[in-house]
Amino acid sequence: MRIDLGANVGSTADAGQAGKAGSRAVLGVGGAVPEADSAQLSTDQSKLQALSAAVLRLPEIRQEKVAALAEQVQRGTYQVEARQTAEALLTALTANRAA
- Residues with Cβ < 8 Å from 28, sequence gap 6 or more? 8, 9, 10, 34
> Is residue 49 located within the same domain as residue 83?
no
Examine the domain organization and report whether 49 and 17 are in the same domain: yes
**What does pTM read for this prediction?**
0.34
- The pLDDT tens digits for 39-53 are 776 778 888 888 999
Handedness of CA 95, 87, 58, 74 (dihedral sign): negative
State how many domains the chain has: 2
- Check residue 93 and give its pLDDT: 92
Domain with 71, as residue range(s), is: 62-99
Same domain, yes or no: 72 and 50? no
The CA distance from 42 to 79, in Å, is: 50
Task: Clarify whether residues 46 and 72 are in a common domain.
Answer: no
When mean pLDDT is compared across 43-47, 61-65, 68-72, the lowest value belongs to 43-47
Higher pLDDT residue, 65 or 41?
65
CB of 28 closer than 8 Å to CB of 9 = yes
User: How far is the C-alpha of 26 from the C-alpha of 13, rounded, in Å?
Assistant: 7
